[in-house]
């Protein structure tokens, strides 16, 4: 067989077995056609010697935010380069109407084509979008978004009830750009769930891949505790921000969301970026209470690597907050117990001039979110293997599980028939995180100075070599993924 690409001498990581297996990978027309040792290189157009490195399935980073602080076209070009550095070959981005992102309201029939046009032809990795129904009209549009644009995943931001993106907000309608007379509240969340369940019933062949993700924090709890923390004044930095958005606020929101899912009959619920022991406790309790709901539990690499004392300054402000070390350890316990479904970056590039307020050290004036896709696979391999997490479980957490949930039928594994998305990882190299080395336009990172013992050296997207010897190469090859892929 004539191959377009042959990658030899690698140790292939599979999601369904703990250890890597020596093999070569043969590619034709962007798809994997053979995985076996000793494939004959004769006739292969391009041969890449993997040098004995690990070959991981391309990371399906199910939680990113291109275009939140920078123009979408700019972020698509630059932050997809950071993706390639972290072994990410598919980026699923959250998008909504309102302030930030596209900075406009209105129907998705009008806004989403603009989103697609802004990102078209600029990405180095494949990408898709989750959409947030912010208004009653958006709920009505869900079936058309599924059928016409292949959008099968949606989002609710529970904390927007009386909070803006970065803190208190008294003008919800202006911030979210929703029609006068409408509210973004628990009743709206219920109707979103009913709308998504109606779409599942309308498209039964896609039902398992149509889901709702929820950012679980409770606005009323956060508003009260923010006032307490600011008035007391004994805490500062990330410790203050964590205390102002307490862990039980997450747990309460998880419980409310879960009961609404039970009430509306929506079984495909994704609980996003659970950051604390209390949030995970609530999520597991709800899974026991409502066994008919197929919950998925998400954790970010930031919440697994950094705590309020080790993160590099208030550049680590994010929602939900970076937590104390005991929460980090609790999350790792759940990862190792198999109670977390996928790990993401929650990448949201916020440049220095936008991130920090005046005074710079006031965490409540800083904006929320930071990049991190470039550290996703290296960070998880570094810390996970140290703690006993198998290579296969890392592949499951970063690729197979999110691909399966979100309708990416040709992604998530190194196997015949799958897209040739994979990265080569050196698992035995010592390096130090420096923001200056990132392809992101963000000039800082909360991981500054962190030690890593694994590095992504090469990344392939549908057989295209987009990262070679640690450097982004070539032109953008990423495509918008109308889901389900490979239907």
Q: What is the pLDDT of residue 98?
A: 93
Question: What is the band of 1 on the pLDDT scale with cuts at 50, 70, 90?
Answer: confident
Determine phi and psi for 127, rounding to 5 degrees.
-155, 160
Determine phi and psi for 7, rounding to 5 degrees.
-105, 115
Domains of the chain, first to last: 60-410+430-452 (3.20.20.140)
Q: What is the spatial distance between Cα 229 and Cα 103, in angstroms, rounded to a whole number?
A: 31
**Higher local confidence (pLDDT), 173 or 119:** 119
The token pair that represents 374 in the structure block: 């470039």
Q: What is the spatial distance between Cα 130 and Cα 407, in angstroms, rounded to a whole number?
A: 12
Question: What is the band of 168 on the pLDDT scale with cuts at 50, 70, 90?
Answer: low
Q: What is the pLDDT of residue 166?
A: 56
- From 133-142, 221-230, 369-378, the region with the lowest mean pLDDT: 221-230
- 56 and 395 in contact (C-beta within 8 Å)? yes
C-alpha neighbours within 13 Å on the C-beta side of residue 373 = 35
Q: Give percent above pLDDT 90 in the chain.
A: 94
How far, in Å, are 224, 253, 324, 462 from residue 228 at the CA level?
A: 6, 20, 19, 52
Q: At what angle do helices 186-202 and 247-264 cross, to 10 degrees?
A: 40
Buried b (16+ CB within 10 A) or exposed e, 81-90: bbbbbbbbbb
Q: What is the spatial distance between Cα 384 and Cα 136, in angstroms, rounded to a whole number?
A: 43
Q: What is the spatial distance between Cα 158 and Cα 171, in angstroms, rounded to a whole number?
A: 16
Instruction: Give the pLDDT mean for 63-70.
Output: 97
Residue 164 has pLDDT above 60, yes or no: no
Instruction: Give the pLDDT mean for 74-92.
Output: 98
Instruction: Give the pLDDT mean for 44-70.
Output: 98
Residue 100 has pLDDT above 70, yes or no: yes
Instruction: Give the pLDDT mean for 12-19.
Output: 97
Residue 160 has pLDDT above 90, yes or no: no
Residue 123 has pLDDT above 90, yes or no: yes
Neighbours of 173 (CB within 10 A): 15
DSSP string, 176-202: HTPPTT---SHHHHHHHHHHHHHHHHH
Average pLDDT of the chain to the nearest whole number:
96
Residue position matching structure tokens 């009830």: 161
Question: Residue 320: is the preceding peptide bond cis (ω within 30°)?
Answer: yes
Q: What is the pLDDT of residue 162?
A: 57
Buried b (16+ CB within 10 A) or exposed e, 215-245: bbbbbebbbebbeebeeeeebebbbbbbbbb
Q: What is the spatial distance between Cα 229 and Cα 168, in angstroms, rounded to a whole number?
A: 13
Residue position matching structure tokens 């899912």: 261
Q: What is the pLDDT of residue 167?
A: 56
Residue 126 has pLDDT above 90, yes or no: yes
Secondary structure letter of residue 364 according to DSSP = G
- pLDDT tens figures, 236-245: 999 999 999 9
Q: What is the pLDDT of residue 159?
A: 86
Reported residue count of the chain is 487
How far, in Å, are 56, 99, 460 from residue 39 at the CA level?
A: 19, 53, 19
- pLDDT tens figures, 102-116: 999 999 999 999 999
Q: What is the spatial distance between Cα 370 and Cα 348, in angstroms, rounded to a whole number?
A: 5
Q: At what angle do helices 136-149 and 108-119 cross, to 10 degrees?
A: 50
Q: What is the pLDDT of residue 43?
A: 87
Determine phi and psi for 423, rounding to 5 degrees.
-130, 150
- pLDDT tens figures, 305-337: 999 999 999 999 999 999 999 999 999 999 999
Which of 94, 90, 87 has its CA nearest to residue 68? 94
Q: What is the spatial distance between Cα 82 and Cα 375, in angstroms, rounded to a whole number?
A: 9
The token pair that represents 318 in the structure block: 């994010």
Instruction: Give the pLDDT mean for 358-387.
Output: 97
DSSP string, 86-140: TTEEEEEEEE-SBTTTT-B-S-HHHHHHHHHHHHTTT-SSEEEEEE---SHHHHH
């Amino acid at each position: 067989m004539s191959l377009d690409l042959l990658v030899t001498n690698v140790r292939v990581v599979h999601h369904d077995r703990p250890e890597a297996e020596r093999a070569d990978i043969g590619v034709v027309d962007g798809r994997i056609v053979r995985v076996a040792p000793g494939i004959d290189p004769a006739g292969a157009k391009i041969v890449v010697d993997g040098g004995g490195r690990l070959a991981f399935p391309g990371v399906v980073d199910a939680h990113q935010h291109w275009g939140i602080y920078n123009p979408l076209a700019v972020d698509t070009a630059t932050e997809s380069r950071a993706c390639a550095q972290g072994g990410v070959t598919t980026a699923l981005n959250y998008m909504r109407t309102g302030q930030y992102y596209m900075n406009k309201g209105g129907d998705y029939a009008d806004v989403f084509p603009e989103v697609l046009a802004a990102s078209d032809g600029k990405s180095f990795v494949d990408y898709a979008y989750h959409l947030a129904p912010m208004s009653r009209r958006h709920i009505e549009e869900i079936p058309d978004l599924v059928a016409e644009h292949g959008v099968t995943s949606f989002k609710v931001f529970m904390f927007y009830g009386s909070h803006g993106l970065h803190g208190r907000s008294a003008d919800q309608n202006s911030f979210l750009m929703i029609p006068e007379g409408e509210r973004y509240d628990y009743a709206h969340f219920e109707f979103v769930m009913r709308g998504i369940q109606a779409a599942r019933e309308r498209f039964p062949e896609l039902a398992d891949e149509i889901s709702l993700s929820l950012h679980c924090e409770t606005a009323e709890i956060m508003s009260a505790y923010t006032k307490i923390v600011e008035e007391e004044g004994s805490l500062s930095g990330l410790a203050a921000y964590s205390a102002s958005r307490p862990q039980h606020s997450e747990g309460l929101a998880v419980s409310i969301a879960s009961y609404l899912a039970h009430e509306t009959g929506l079984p495909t619920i994704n609980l996003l970026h659970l950051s604390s022991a209390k949030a995970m406790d609530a999520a597991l309790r709800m899974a026991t209470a409502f066994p008919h709901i197929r919950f998925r539990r998400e954790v970010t690499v930031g919440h697994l690597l950094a705590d309020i004392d080790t993160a590099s300054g208030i550049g680590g402000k994010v929602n939900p907050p970076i937590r104390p070390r005991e929460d980090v350890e609790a999350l790792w316990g759940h990862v190792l117990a198999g109670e977390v479904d996928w790990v993401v970056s929650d990448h949201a590039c916020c440049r220095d001039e936008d991130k920090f307020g005046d005074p710079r050290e006031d965490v409540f004036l800083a904006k929320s979110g930071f990049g991190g896709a470039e550290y996703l696979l290296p960070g998880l391999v570094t810390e996970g293997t140290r703690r006993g997490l198998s290579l296969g479980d890392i592949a499951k957490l970063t690729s197979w599980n999110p691909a399966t949930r979100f309708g990416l039928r040709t992604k998530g594994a190194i196997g015949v028939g799958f897209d040739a998305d994979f990265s080569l990882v050196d698992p035995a190299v010592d390096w130090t995180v420096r923001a200056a080395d990132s392809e992101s336009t963000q000039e800082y990172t909360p991981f500054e100075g962190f030690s890593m013992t694994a590095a992504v050296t090469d990344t392939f997207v549908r057989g295209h070599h987009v990262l070679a010897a640690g450097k982004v190469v070539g032109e953008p090859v990423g495509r918008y993924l109308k889901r389900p892929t490979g239907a």
